[in-house]
Amino acid sequence: MTSLETLNLEIDGPRATIELNRPDKKNAMNPQMHRDMNRALDLIEADGNVKAVVATGKGDSFSAGMDLEECFLRPFDDPMEFYRTNKVALDWFMRIKAFPAVTVAKVNGLSFGGGVLLAGLCDLAIASEKALFGLSEINFGIFPAGGATWATAHNLPRKAALYYILTGDRFTGAQAAEYGLVNKAVPHDRLDAETDRLVGMLVNKNPVTLALAKQVYEHNRATDLPAAIDYDQAKLWELSRLTSNEWINVALKQFEKRAYQPGLKTYQRAEVPS
Ligand code: COA
């Protein structure tokens, strides 16, 4: 485990966990945490073996969002300082959205503003039934920024998104699952086990396939069918080449021998020649 000033990072083979570690401040993201988050992502990328990254919070909160004092109030009078402080945050927000490994938010508790953003930017998310979400920006006079409106619009249906953006009202883990912000909400004592189960389904897949599947999803949801087909055909050949045609030479050969049913599970990657 690597302890950064405001985060704990654990890399265990194909799994990494980033734990926000400012429990006394409800894991509000201060400038140090933004720097630490970039550092944690650097370390995970440098490791080269991680297929799934879980983001979670220590204590009773996932994250209370941006540190309102350290990120907004204090640097506000110095425009360059304000810009620099917040650019570090915007950098990792964009980075985590496009991260090659699959990102999973394990929403263990309070999740406000930037906490909703982080859950929304992750590819997958599981919430505790104790989790409580809110877009509190309207309550201090702004709209959700830094990608938070984008993440809300891309994860919640329109009326729900506008309701929470405009009112600052809160919603539960179960509601977050209903809207689609998280894949499921589970009793708090099942959160670790359910997250492990989800990560377990990812880590036996080919990491190149996981990364390209994410790229194809993101590209194709924002384009028309002919452009989507053009893109996925090109990506399929890129995938084939980058994986030495593993889908043909290993996966479908195993299917040909009726060694497994792809509808039910993943092929055996242990047989992949190194
Ligand atoms: N920025 C800076 N400090 C924050 C914070 C934030 N986003 N969220 C919580 N904290 C601090 C509190 O000010 C308090 O600090 P203190 O001990 O120095 O007084 C500490 O964390 C504990 O929070 P507290 O308010 O006592 O906890 P609570 O359980 O009663 O309430 C919240 C939790 C999340 C409802 C409340 O802290 C809150 O409204 N925070 C702001 C949320 C927000 O607007 N986030 C959006 C940012 S984009």
CATH code for position 34: 3.90.226.10
Cβ 231 vs Cβ 219: under 8 Å: yes
Q: pLDDT per residue over 11-31, tens digit each?
A: 999 999 999 999 999 999 999
Would the pTM of this model clear 0.85, i.e. be above it? yes
CA of 121 from ligand 1 middle (Å) equals 22
Give the distance between the most distant pair of CA atoms in the chain: 68
Q: Are residues 99 and 232 in the same domain?
A: no
Average pLDDT score over residue span 130-134: 97
pLDDT at 274 over 60: no
Average pLDDT score over residue span 243-247: 96
User: In the chain, what is the straight-line distance between the N-terminal and C-terminal CA atoms, in Å?
Assistant: 28
Which of the listed residues 202, 217, 234 is the one where a domain comes to its end? 202
Q: Are residues 47 and 131 in the same domain?
A: yes
CA of 168 from ligand 1 middle (Å) equals 15
Atom 41, ligand 1: which residue's CA is nearest?
64
Per-residue pLDDT band at 182 (split at 50, 70, 90): very high
Closest ligand 1 atom to residue 25 Cα is 21
Atom 46, ligand 1: which residue's CA is nearest?
113
CA of 188 from ligand 1 middle (Å) equals 22
Which pLDDT score, from 0 to 100, does residue 273 have? 54
Q: pLDDT per residue over 251-267, tens digit each?
A: 999 999 999 999 999 99
Sheet holding 170-172, edge to edge: 61-63, 110-112, 132-134, 170-172
pLDDT at 153 over 70: yes
CA-CA-CA-CA dihedral for 137, 176, 56, 99, to nearest 10: -90
Q: Give the mean pLDDT of the chain.
A: 97
Atom 2, ligand 1: which residue's CA is nearest?
67
Nearest C-alpha neighbor of 99 from the set 125, 114, 115, 121: 121
pLDDT at 44 over 80: yes
Domain that holds residue 236: 207-271
Q: Are residues 177 and 236 in the same domain?
A: no
Cβ 115 vs Cβ 64: under 8 Å: yes
Atom 12, ligand 1: which residue's CA is nearest?
25
Q: Are residues 31 and 138 in the same domain?
A: yes
CA of 126 from ligand 1 middle (Å) equals 23
Q: Are residues 188 and 214 in the same domain?
A: no
Q: Are residues 84 and 195 in the same domain?
A: yes
Per-residue pLDDT band at 193 (split at 50, 70, 90): very high
d(CA 210, CA 100): 8
Q: Are residues 42 and 56 in the same domain?
A: yes
Q: Are residues 186 and 264 in the same domain?
A: no
Which of the listed residues 162, 181, 202 is the one where a domain comes to its end? 202
Q: Are residues 134 and 38 in the same domain?
A: yes
Which pLDDT score, from 0 to 100, does residue 270 have? 77
Opening angle at CA 98, ends 97 and 101, nearest 5: 100
Contacts of 151-156 with CB under 8 Å at 24 or more apart are 151/116, 151/117, 151/119, 151/120, 151/121, 152/116, 152/120, 154/120, 155/119, 155/120, 155/179, 155/180, 155/181, 156/180, 156/181
Atom 21, ligand 1: which residue's CA is nearest?
25
User: Cα–chain-centroid distance for residue 126?
Assistant: 11
CA of 17 from ligand 1 middle (Å) equals 24
Q: Are residues 129 and 21 in the same domain?
A: yes
Which pLDDT score, from 0 to 100, does residue 144 have? 98
Q: Are residues 164 and 212 in the same domain?
A: no
CA of 27 from ligand 1 middle (Å) equals 9
Per-residue pLDDT band at 226 (split at 50, 70, 90): very high
What burial class does residue 129 get, using C-beta atoms within 10 Å of its C-beta: 0-12 exposed, 13-18 middle, 19+ buried?
A: middle
CA of 25 from ligand 1 middle (Å) equals 6
Which of the listed residues 202, 236, 259 is the one where a domain comes to its end? 202
Atom 14, ligand 1: which residue's CA is nearest?
25
Domain count across the chain: 2
Ramachandran angles phi, psi of 29, nearest 5°? -90, 105
**Could you tell which of 6, 26, 167 is best to mutate to test the pocket of ligand 1, judged by most ligand atoms within 8 Å of the CB?**
26
Q: pLDDT per residue over 83-115, tens digit each?
A: 999 999 999 999 999 999 999 999 999 999 999
**Residues lining ligand 1, judged by CB closer than 6 Å?**
25-26, 28, 64-69, 110, 112-114, 136-137
pLDDT > 90: percent of the chain: 98
Average pLDDT score over residue span 205-212: 97
Average pLDDT score over residue span 230-245: 97
Provide the 8-state DSSP code for 68. I
Per-residue pLDDT band at 271 (split at 50, 70, 90): low
Q: Are residues 133 and 100 in the same domain?
A: yes
Nearest C-alpha neighbor of 134 from the set 154, 111, 114, 153: 111
